[in-house]
């Protein structure tokens, strides 16, 4: 975490939609990128459900239906997947609730639920200011404030320290309340405290942490409940404990519990001698507790003044939500004017990045030309941009130092990060649509590439050319590999990408779309396919076999910020490595020894790359965006991409904490004119003989198409020994753009488990110059290992 002076708060100033009125006592939860707010009050209790999309910066009011609950404040509010539970709270002055409501956010449907009472004892009494925490299939209710008087106008407060467990049914509904028998000293009664649940990675039992609250005076004690042994304890902590407070927020990100705001003692008051009479005020102090080491760290102290309005002003009764590693804060009250007997509420929305973003997925190829690449990578939540870099074996001259270059500008970076991971972002559409995944993996030749090793950060794949003519198809596979490096494979993919509609939230599922042409429509068949690209040798007939390497594949379709379901078309047409490829004019250097050049900083997760920036000689200093070091690109010289040349790519995400680690390295090669593109719009449908496989001609045939070849990955002993080595059997060769794959052929199919279980097909086109890149399709088979077509 950044030092206190480096905290980079951001106030959201540009948003659209109906903004909720300012309030306090409201609650908020997150469903993916959505912040969902309910209840609270200021001149009356609010009963609307408000949603803020943190990607599109849009507020909206969903059209809720069903058993809509009355407005409430200081209630319990938890989220389990895409359902939300609301318990208790104040429904009007002096009248509290103990009712339980469930919201199915995928349909915005409210339902009043009635849990079974405990087998011994009474159910929870009406209350406000309690904590209500979720872990697994159970909610844990602790404390709060009850009204002892039957007359709501005659409030007789009673602070609570009772503890209940609510068991949930899977998906919807609840089982009932129970009263666990706990050990140890129970925390004192309180309300307006916080409770979070945390479990150490790989070890330990889940523990609930209760901090602060109000019981006539504000509290600063920390309690821990082991949810397996049901034992209460007071952990010994290090560091500076935050001031006593109530109406604060507590949020867990990673192993840290962040405490922000609340009511605290007025400066100079001795709360030990007069706890009930001293003055209280709001605070903007900000601390966290490391839940692994039990050490407090102060990020913003209570004495730090903010004269520049660079962070949220003091407040209490606000809400806080963690989305990824970013914390959002909204509204709350910032004071109490006794003379007017009213509160002053904030209406501002702030966020804070608590750590650098994770590494994005590998860069994926959408389209290659002779002098450019269209690339993409999976989105990283809550980031402000992406730094894309490349390096190449071609020599590039550092820009000479002159008056046009600012002092110490840097356009090329060495490689400080060598880690990263692929990621998959699921989306969803209609259950009736064909389920597909799309990948455009890099084309990397092993031949003449001593610098590429089989390592975690280099996805080198063995590949070879399809034969340039019929006689080549009959030649030995080893001879094909020796004579000619193979094509990049690629795909023309039409993706129907579902995003969070402003009217609905859909539970996360696999990507659902049809592989089709430019005007993609969702098919009504239930065939599951996955269209992707790798590299490999392919052969002519059912008797000749060859192998090639594949690595893990990532989704080509990603969650795009949109207000409705969108069509996204990705064109991938990479040309083959060929004996006509120009040789490099300099000896190859290892990738790790090459300097990385900035392509630029991109707001979104796609980039059209035709140039990169050069490093001025002797210039090192760089400017900043937030805490991220970035160059002033307007002062740097550019170099164009060269045809027939391999380029390595990596990408890192940027947020308020700086530049995160880089992705794994991908490598692509610019095109050589003349070869056909990859077949597109692949479709699979069942028929009585097996399945019908069809496709569209390449969008760039570069001449007349002489024939197509289709291949099926089959089971062999080699694959059992090395699952990454796929063996293909040719199942079709001809001019037609479709073929039948028989049940007998499918019986020999290999089920690929590199991502989701699938049968793998490849289709490529040949013109006068030879075979071009192949389109790979993964026909998803579900999670069972049954034979296809079952």
For residue 780, give both structure tokens: 């998803």
Domains of the chain, each with CATH number or no CATH: 15-268+278-353 (2.120.10.80), 364-394+595-622+634-670 (2.60.40.10), 683-780 (2.60.40.10)
Q: How far apart are CA 368 and CA 669, in angstroms?
A: 8
> What is residue 743's DSSP assignment?
H
Mean pLDDT score, 703-725: 81
Q: How confident is the model at residue 678 (pLDDT cuts 50, 70, 90)?
A: confident
What percentage of the chain has pLDDT greater than the value 70?
A: 67
Q: Which residues contact 690 (CB under 8 A, 6 or more apart)?
A: 740, 741, 742, 743, 744, 745, 746, 789
- Range list of H helices, 449-528: 470-474, 477-483
Query: Residue 97: which of 59, 34, 53, 45 has the closest Cα?
Result: 45
State yes or no: pLDDT of 538 exceeds 60. no
Q: Give the per-residue pLDDT at 722.
A: 61
State yes or no: pLDDT of 283 exceeds 90. yes
* CB half-sphere exposure, 663, CA atoms < 13 A: 30
Per DSSP, the three-state class of 261 is coil
Q: How far apart are CA 129 and CA 778, in angstroms?
A: 52
More confident residue, 527 or 570: 527
Q: What is the pLDDT of residues 628-665, one digit of tens each?
A: 566 788 889 999 998 888 899 999 999 999 999 999 99
Q: How confident is the model at residue 526 (pLDDT cuts 50, 70, 90)?
A: very low
Q: How far apart are CA 553 and CA 454, in angstroms?
A: 16
How far are the Cα atoms of 357, 652, 655 from residue 628, in angstroms, in the given order?
Answer: 11, 11, 8
Per DSSP, the three-state class of 239 is coil
Give the pairing of strands 280-282 and 286-290: unpaired
Q: Give the per-residue pLDDT at 756.
A: 74
Q: How confident is the model at residue 7 (pLDDT cuts 50, 70, 90)?
A: confident
State yes or no: pLDDT of 35 exceeds 70. yes
Q: Are the CB atoms for 654 and 647 separated by under 8 Å? A: no
Q: Give the per-residue pLDDT at 371.
A: 85
State yes or no: pLDDT of 714 exceeds 70. yes
Scan for tokens 């409501």, then name that residue.
101
Angle at 94 between CA 90 and CA 96, to 5 degrees: 35
Rg of the chain on CA atoms, in Å = 30
Note the maximum CA span of the chain: 98
Strand order through the sheet with 326-330:
9-11, 349-353, 326-330, 319-323
State yes or no: pLDDT of 398 exceeds 70. no
Q: Give the per-residue pLDDT at 93.
A: 86
How far are the Cα atoms of 362, 424, 452, 549, 606 from residue 421, in angstroms, in the given order?
Answer: 7, 10, 18, 19, 18
More confident residue, 541 or 272: 272
How far are the Cα atoms of 443, 572, 684 from residue 498, in angstroms, in the given order?
Answer: 29, 21, 21
Q: What is the pLDDT of residues 458-493, one digit of tens each?
A: 222 222 222 223 223 322 222 222 222 333 333 322
State yes or no: pLDDT of 507 exceeds 80. no
Q: Are the CB atoms for 143 and 124 separated by under 8 Å? A: no
Q: What is the pLDDT of residues 51-87, one digit of tens each?
A: 999 999 999 999 999 999 999 999 999 999 999 999 9
Q: Which helix (H) or strand (E) holds 745?
A: helix 743-747
Mean pLDDT score, 575-593: 36
State yes or no: pLDDT of 788 exceeds 80. no
What percentage of the chain has pLDDT greater than the value 90?
A: 50
State yes or no: pLDDT of 570 exceeds 90. no
CA torsion sign for 263, 264, 268, 274 is positive
Scan for tokens 């407070």, then name that residue.
245
Q: How confident is the model at residue 395 (pLDDT cuts 50, 70, 90)?
A: low
Q: Are the CB atoms for 746 and 690 separated by under 8 Å? A: yes
């Amino acid at each position: 975490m950044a030092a206190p002076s480096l905290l980079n708060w951001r106030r959201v100033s540009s948003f659209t939609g109906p903004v909720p009125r300012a309030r306090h006592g409201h609650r908020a939860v997150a469903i993916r990128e959505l912040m969902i707010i309910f209840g609270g009050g200021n001149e009356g209790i609010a009963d609307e459900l408000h949603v803020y999309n943190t990607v599109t910066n849009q507020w909206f009011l969903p059209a809720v239906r069903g058993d809509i609950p009355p407005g409430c404040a200081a209630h319990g509010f938890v989220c389990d997947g895409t359902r939300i539970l609301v318990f208790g709270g104040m429904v009007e002055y002096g009248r509290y609730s103990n009712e339980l409501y469930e919201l199915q956010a995928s349909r915005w449907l409210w339902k009043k639920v009635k849990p079974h009472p405990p087998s011994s004892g009474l159910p929870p009494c009406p209350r406000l200011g309690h904590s209500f925490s979720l872990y697994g299939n159970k909610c844990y209710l602790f404390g709060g404030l009850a009204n002892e008087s039957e007359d709501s106008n005659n409030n007789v407060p009673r602070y609570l320290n009772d503890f209940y467990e609510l068991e949930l049914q899977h998906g919807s509904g609840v089982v009932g309340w129970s009263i666990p028998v706990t050990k140890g000293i129970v925390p004192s009664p309180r309300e307006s405290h916080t409770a979070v649940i945390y479990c150490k990675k790989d070890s330990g039992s889940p523990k609930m942490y209760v901090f602060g609250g109000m019981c006539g005076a504000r509290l600063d004690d920390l309690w821990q409940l082991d949810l397996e042994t049901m034992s209460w304890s007071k952990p010994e902590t290090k560091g500076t404990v935050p001031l006593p407070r109530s109406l604060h927020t507590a949020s867990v990100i990673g192993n840290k519990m962040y405490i922000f705001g609340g009511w605290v003692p007025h400066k100079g008051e001795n709360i030990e001698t007069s706890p009930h009479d001293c003055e209280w005020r709001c605070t903007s102090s900000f601390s966290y507790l490391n839940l692994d080491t039990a050490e407090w760290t102060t990020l913003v102290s209570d004495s730090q003044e903010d004269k520049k309005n660079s962070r949220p002003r003091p407040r209490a009764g606000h809400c806080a939500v963690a989305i990824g590693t970013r914390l959002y804060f909204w509204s709350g009250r910032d004071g109490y004017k006794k003379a007017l007997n009213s509160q002053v509420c904030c209406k501002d929305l702030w966020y804070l990045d608590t750590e650098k973003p994770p590494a994005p997925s590998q860069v994926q190829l959408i389209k290659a030309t002779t002098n450019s690449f269209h690339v993409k990578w999976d989105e990283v939540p809550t980031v402000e941009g992406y730094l894309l870099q490349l390096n190449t074996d071609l020599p590039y001259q550092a820009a000479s130092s002159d008056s046009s270059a600012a002092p110490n500008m840097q356009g090329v970076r060495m490689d400080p990060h060598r880690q990263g991971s692929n990621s998959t972002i699921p989306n969803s559409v209609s259950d009736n649509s064909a389920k597909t995944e799309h990948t455009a993996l890099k084309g990397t030749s092993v031949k003449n590439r001593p610098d590429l090793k089989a390592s975690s950060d280099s996805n080198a794949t063995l590949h070879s050319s399809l034969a340039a003519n019929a006689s080549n198809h009959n030649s030995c596979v080893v001879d094909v590999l020796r004579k000619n490096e193979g094509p990049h494979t690629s795909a023309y993919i039409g993706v129907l990408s579902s995003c969070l509609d402003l009217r609905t939230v859909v539970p996360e599922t696999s990507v659902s779309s049809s592989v089709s042409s430019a005007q993609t429509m969702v098919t009504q068949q239930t065939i599951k396919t996955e269209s992707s690209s790798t590299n490999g040798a392919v052969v002519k007939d059912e008797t000749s076999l060859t192998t090639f390497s594949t690595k893990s594949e990532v989704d080509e379709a990603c969650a795009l910020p949109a207000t409705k379901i969108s069509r996204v078309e990705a064109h991938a047409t990479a040309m083959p490595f060929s004996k006509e490829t120009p040789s490099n004019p300099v000896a190859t250097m290892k990738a790790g020894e090459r300097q990385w050049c900035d392509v630029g900083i991109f707001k979104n997760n796609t980039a059209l790359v035709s140039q990169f920036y050069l490093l001025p000689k002797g210039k090192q200093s760089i400017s900043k965006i937030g805490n991220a070091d970035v160059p002033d690109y307007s002062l740097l010289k550019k170099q164009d991409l060269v045809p027939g040349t391999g380029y390595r790519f990596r990408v890192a995400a940027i947020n308020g904490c700086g530049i995160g680690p880089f992705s794994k390295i991908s490598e692509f090669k610019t095109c050589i004119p003349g070869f056909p593109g990859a077949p597109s719009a692949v479709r699979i449908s069942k028929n009585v003989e097996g399945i019908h496989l069809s496709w569209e001609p390449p969008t760039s045939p570069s001449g007349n198409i002489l024939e197509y070849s289709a291949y099926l990955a089959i089971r062999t002993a080699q694959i059992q020994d090395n699952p990454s080595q796929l063996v293909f059997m040719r199942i079709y060769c001809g001019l037609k753009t479709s073929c039948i794959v028989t049940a007998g052929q499918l019986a020999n199919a290999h089920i690929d488990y590199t991502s989701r279980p699938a049968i793998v097909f490849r289709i490529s086109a040949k013109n006068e110059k030879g075979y071009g890149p192949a389109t790979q399709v993964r026909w998803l088979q579900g999670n069972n290992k049954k034979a296809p077509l079952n």
